[in-house]
Amino acid sequence: MNDKKTMETLEGTTTVGITCTDGVVFASERRASMGNLVAHKVAEKIFKIDDHIAATIAGSVADAQSLMKVISAETSLYKMRNGENISIESASALASNILHSSPLYVQTLLGGVDDDGTPSIYSLDPAGGMIKDSFISTGSGSTFSYGVLEDRVKEGVTVDEGVEIAIRAIKSAMERDTYSGNGILVATVTKDKGFEMLAKEKVEAKLKEIS
């Protein structure tokens, strides 16, 4: 593995995942760093794995992109072989096994909606540890995001409510964490509409509403 001080990383990343009654919400900021250098201001940290699954990444860009490609390919193969979507738990277990057999410098949130409409999100660490939770944040700004999540995520929260909470959580991290910044990405996964990345204009409008 390359020297972590010079490797292009998303180490300072802040990502958020919220499990809602009707789907899941993911959000992240967009900064990528190389040590103290802001290497990119338009980093993509939310990935569509399948129509019903999404993931966020933090850590080595190369490792993260490699892991996303493998998971996407494996979920597609599962659908071809079995004629049905892989469950969120099984997709997470697959990612866990990949990381357990060959640890990567990456932390991932993986979640979505099963065919029966059940939403869920799992957190995966670099060695393959897998934990399910109702809301999760990763990265250097997670301390600030968790303050918002703990205060605002309640039982019965909807995707529409979750989008606003996720934006608030990332905004809080960007205001206090020097490694998080340069805009916000938000994506949702619901049974009816599948994966959707919110338009930049919609995110900016939400930001103005809560400012």
161-to-11, 24, 40, 46, 166 alpha-carbon distances in Å: 28, 11, 30, 19, 9
10 Å Cβ neighbour count for 201? 8
Query: Coil, strand, or helix at residue 125?
Result: coil
The active-site residue out of 13, 19, 56, 75 is 13
Please check whether residue 145 is in contact with residue 171, taking contact to mean a CB–CB distance below 8 angstroms. Answer: no
Distance CA(62)–CA(129), nearest Å, equals 20
Distance CA(94)–CA(79), nearest Å, equals 14
* Helix%, strand%, coil% for the chain, nearest 5: 35, 30, 30
The neighbouring-strand residues paired with 26 are 17, 187
Helix (H) or strand (E) holding 26: strand 23-29
Is there a catalytic annotation at residue 13? yes
Residues across the chain:
211
> Annotated catalytic sites, by residue?
13
